């Protein structure tokens, strides 16, 4: 939610600010702005709409200066508009601020500040920060920032620019990410690595409660509460700059769908020990006694990561025979779950920054659970908060719609289930061997699926004008149906619902009329016949049915209207293959409907507000 950048150095600030914002647009894209100090004053330029609107607006009068800040917004307080865009300034244009997060006590602060004569230009929560800074400032910029932080409540990543201190930017954070890229005679600030990766691989990751004074030739760190100075370790970014580019693909989503074989290989690398018939998870190092301490497991996540958790439940319960509950993070923390030192809480998050998931994780740590994060971003807030971490090796995922993060999350939850099952000896060695061999072969099978892309494109063109769609399946297929339906609604704006196939007849079947699109997943052999009966129920109401089935199931052709075959694998691994045509289907539907695939309306990649 919201992308923020900052630059200080010998070059012009604007090129980095605009380039950095373009790399962060996935975090929010309803308006954008920059503030640059030109030697005399802070020049602020902002515009509602995409970054291009701002680009057009400043054409011919680009603010000149070697220090500046920028912001791309996902509106929370106040509609998207020029005035509500960041940066925000105080009454006299002495300070400018960009913010990601929410200032929870902004209304009372705003009232107070207005009573003392401050004039507000916007409806945002952020503007109070600029006015507070104006009040707290008595010549020492850092002291004033620390005083402001004492007054505000909520979550934030903040970057401050002061006219009287053109040699420094100050930044700080709580519950929202900030990274500082280290350059030669210049330094960069950003919400996320893609903004700085073209300029620096050496960086500092700011923690909650820390403040950085960033100058062209160095960075100093202070604790915000005590004011104590400290040194910070350099973090080396291991993503390549190309990984954050489209590399010839029309959209990031399509590129990321095609990166799945590599992402899966990377995630499996070093973890599949076929010779010794075991899974290696050095990150855990658990003994059987450790495992016996876990009386139950919670998997907590949001959106697509939650759907990966549903598959994880199935894997862990089936293979390791430990009871698992899966919860939506925003519900979990408020429902007083029964958690104690015998509970293992697994949080799943691509970004490692999702506010709801992070808050649930903090609460579980407080309650004494063992916590384990499955995340894609090294050193993210969730990675640092959890007691143990297993990384998915998907590389940067830029498109709002999650694809390769999901399949690599499935890989990790399966590896985890196999690891637990190996320790507990709840799996036969032959079964373990079979799954490990099929896991190794998965990337090749995904490549085989890509060879059928044209079939998906044709199906998308057939269904593109529909307003509703249903995804059905049983068992693991149901969990994947949920993900398929989320993908479709998220980027093509078609209303889609996922149903456990056996549940349709308890109400929803009333919505099936001639021509209603039904995408039926039928990959699980133990309930195959049951699923076929449910497919026949929708066919009897003349639904237009696309079935996704294993290659040997040709008899389905007599039952449904369209069939898409997935390569042969063990049933447990079918989700990782089945989701690929569903991702492609959503993608081509969105393209056919002229939707903005990578930046769907109302959404943002990293959801750092509650």
Catalytic position from the list 46, 404, 599, 605: 605
Binding segment (CB under 6 A) for ligand M6R, from list 253-261, 303-311, 548-556, 585-593: 303-311
Q: How far is the CB of 300 from ligand M6R (least distance, A)?
A: 10
CA proximity to 190, closest of 13, 380, 24: 24
Residues 353-392: x where in contact with ligand M6R by CB under 6 A, - otherwise, as a string: -x--x-----------------------------------
How many Å apart are CA 437 and CA 345, to the nearest integer?
A: 29
User: 379: burial class by Cβ within 10 Å (0-12, 13-18, 19+)?
Assistant: middle
Query: Which among 186, 196, 197, 192 has a CA at the least distance from the CA of 173?
Result: 192
Contact call for residues 164 and 103 (beta carbons, < 8 A) = no
Q: Which is nearer to ligand M6R, 532 or 580 (CB)?
A: 580
Please state whether beta strands 324-328 and 186-190 pair in parallel, antiparallel, or not at all (unpaired): unpaired
* Angstrom distance (rounded) from CA 411 to CA 396: 17
Footprint of ligand M6R on 324-353 (CB under 6 A): 349-351
Q: Which residue is nearest to ligand M6R (CB)?
A: 303
The count of residues interacting with ligand M6R (CB under 6 A) is 16
* 180 or 301: CB nearest ligand M6R: 301
The runs of H, that is alpha helices, within 202-328 are 252-258, 260-268, 288-292, 303-320
In angstroms, give the least distance from the CB of 597 to ligand M6R: 12
- CA–CA gap between residue 250 and residue 592 (Å, rounded): 13
Q: Of residues 2, 171, 302, 595, which has the active-site annotation?
A: 2
Q: Note whether 305 binds ligand M6R by CB under 6 A.
A: yes
C-beta of 293 vs 379, nearer to ligand M6R: 379
Q: Which is nearer to ligand M6R, 128 or 586 (CB)?
A: 586
Alpha-carbon distance 319 to 98, whole Å?
Answer: 48
**Cβ distance to ligand M6R smaller for residue 488 or 532:** 488
Residue 104, class by beta-carbon neighbours within 10 Å (0-12 exposed, 13-18 middle, 19+ buried)? middle
Supply the minimum distance, in Å, between the C-beta of residue 304 and ligand M6R: 3
Integer Cα distance of 468 and 470 in angstroms: 7
Output the CA angle 373-374-379, nearest 5 degrees: 70
For residue 205, the surrounding DSSP H or E stretch is: strand 202-205
Q: Which stretch binds ligand M6R (CB under 6 A): 156-164, 207-215, 300-308, 338-346?
A: 300-308
CB of 407 to ligand M6R, least distance (A): 12
Which one of residues 343, 402, 408, 516 is an interface residue with ligand M6R (CB under 6 A)? 402
- With beta carbons less than 8 A apart as the criterion, state whether 496 and 488 touch: yes
Side-chain half-sphere exposure of 118, counting CA atoms within 13 A: 23
CA 569 vs CA 43, 181, 258, 413, 479: distances in Å: 60, 44, 20, 18, 18
- Residue 302 lies near ligand M6R (rule: CB under 6 A): yes
User: What's the min distance (Å) between Cβ of 376 and ligand M6R?
Assistant: 8
> Does the footprint of ligand M6R cover residue 177 (CB under 6 A)?
no
The question of whether 2 is a catalytic residue gets the answer yes
Closer CB to ligand M6R, residue 127 or residue 483? 483
Instruction: Report the residue number, 372 or 607, with the smaller CB distance to ligand M6R.
Output: 607
CA 239 → CA 188, 201, 232, 244, distances in Å?
Answer: 17, 8, 21, 8
- Which residues 420-459 are close enough to bind ligand M6R by CB under 6 A? none
**Rounded Cα–Cα distance for residues 357 and 391 (Å):** 16
Cα separation, 464 vs 480, in Å, equals 21
CA angle 20, 24, 29 (to 5 degrees): 120
Does position 76 interact with ligand M6R (CB under 6 A)? The reply is no
Indicate the residue among 172 and 402 with the shorter CB distance to ligand M6R. 402
490 is an interface residue for ligand M6R by CB under 6 A: yes
Shortest Å, Cβ 353 to ligand M6R: 7
- Residue 377 CB, nearest distance to ligand M6R (Å)? 8
595 is catalytic: no
Q: How far is the CB of 176 from ligand M6R (least distance, A)?
A: 13
Judged by CB under 6 A, the stretch of 30-38, 129-137, 297-305, 498-506 that binds ligand M6R is 297-305
> Which member of 157, 390, 400, 494 binds ligand M6R (CB under 6 A)?
400
Whole-Å CA distances, 283 to 147, 280, 372: 40, 9, 10
- Backbone φ, ψ for residue 139 (5° rounding): 110, -25
Stretch that binds ligand M6R, among 1-9, 119-127, 396-404, 518-526 (CB under 6 A): 396-404
Residue whose structure tokens are 């902002």: 46
407 binds ligand M6R, rule: CB under 6 A: no
Closest to ligand M6R by CB, 87 vs 600, is 600
Q: Which of 122, 176, 304, 355 binds ligand M6R (CB under 6 A)?
A: 304
For ligand M6R, the closer of residues 1 and 264 by Cβ is 1
List interacting residues with ligand M6R (CB under 6 A): 302-305, 349-351, 354, 357, 400-402, 486, 490, 606-607
Which residues are known catalytic residues?
2, 605
């Amino acid at each position: 939610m919201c992308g923020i950048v900052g630059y200080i150095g010998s070059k012009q600030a604007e090129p980095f600010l605009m380039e950095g914002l373009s790399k962060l647009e996935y975090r929010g894209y309803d308006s954008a702005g920059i503030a640059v100090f030109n030697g005399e004053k802070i020049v602020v330029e902002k515009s509602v709409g995409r970054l291009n609107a701002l680009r057009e607006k400043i054409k011919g009068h680009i603010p000149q200066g070697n220090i500046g800040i920028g912001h791309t917004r996902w509106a929370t307080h106040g509609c998207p508009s020029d005035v509500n865009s960041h940066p925000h300034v105080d009454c006299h244009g002495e300070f400018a601020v960009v913010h990601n997060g929410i200032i929870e006590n902004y209304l009372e602060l705003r009232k107070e500040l207005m009573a003392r004569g401050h004039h507000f230009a916007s409806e945002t929560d952020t503007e109070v920060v600029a006015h507070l800074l104006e009040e707290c400032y008595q010549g020492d910029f850092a002291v004033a920032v620390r005083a402001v932080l004492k007054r505000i409540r909520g979550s934030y990543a903040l970057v401050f620019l002061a006219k009287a201190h053109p040699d420094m930017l100050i930044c700080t954070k709580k519950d929202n990410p900030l990274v500082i890229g280290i350059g030669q005679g210049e330094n960069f600030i950003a919400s996320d690595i893609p903004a700085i990766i073209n300029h620096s691989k050496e960086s500092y990751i700011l923690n909650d409660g820390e403040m950085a004074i960033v100058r062209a030739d160095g960075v100093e760190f202070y604790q915000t509460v005590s004011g104590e100075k400290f040194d910070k370790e350099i973090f080396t970014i291991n993503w390549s700059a190309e990984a954050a580019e489209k590399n010839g693909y029309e959209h990031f989503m399509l590129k990321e769908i095609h990166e799945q074989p590599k992402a899966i290989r990377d995630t499996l690398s070093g973890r599949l020990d076929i010779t010794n018939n075991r899974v290696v998870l050095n990150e855990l190092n658990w003994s059987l006694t450790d495992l016996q301490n876990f009386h139950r497991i919670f998997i907590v996540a949001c959106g697509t990561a939650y759907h990966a958790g549903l598959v994880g439940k199935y894997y862990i319960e089936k293979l390791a025979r430990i009871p698992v509950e899966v919860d939506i993070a925003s519900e979990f923390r408020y429902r007083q779950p029964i958690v104690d030192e015998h509970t293992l809480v697994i949080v799943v998050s691509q970004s490692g920054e999702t506010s709801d998931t992070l808050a649930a994780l903090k609460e579980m740590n407080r309650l004494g659970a063992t916590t384990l994060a499955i995340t894609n971003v090294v050193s993210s807030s969730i990675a640092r908060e959890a007691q143990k971490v297993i990384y998915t090796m998907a590389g940067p995922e830029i498109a709002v719609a999650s694809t390769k993060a999901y399949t690599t999350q499935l890989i990790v939850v399966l590896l985890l289930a196999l690891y637990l099952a190996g320790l507990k000896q709840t799996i036969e060695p032959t079964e373990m061997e079979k799954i490990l061999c099929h896991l190794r072969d998965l990337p090749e099978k995904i490549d085989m699926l890509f060879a059928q892309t044209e079939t998906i494109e044709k199906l998308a063109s057939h269904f593109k004008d529909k307003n509703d769609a249903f995804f059905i399946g049983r068992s693991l297929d149901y969990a994947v149906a949920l993900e398929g339906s989320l993908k479709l609604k998220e980027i093509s704006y078609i209303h889609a619902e996922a149903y456990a196939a056996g549940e349709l007849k308890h109400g929803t079947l009333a919505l099936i009329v001639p021509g209603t699109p039904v995408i039926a997943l039928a990959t699980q052999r133990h309930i195959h016949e049951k699923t076929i009966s449910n497919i026949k129920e929708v066919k009897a109401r003349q639904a237009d049915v696309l079935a996704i089935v294993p290659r040997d199931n040709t008899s389905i052709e007599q039952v449904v209207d369209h069939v898409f075959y997935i390569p042969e694998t063990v049933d447990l691994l079918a989700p990782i293959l089945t989701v690929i045509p569903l991702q492609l289907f959503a993608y081509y539907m969105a393209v056919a409907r002229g939707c903005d695939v990578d930046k769907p309306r109302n959404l943002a990649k990293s959801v750092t507000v509650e």
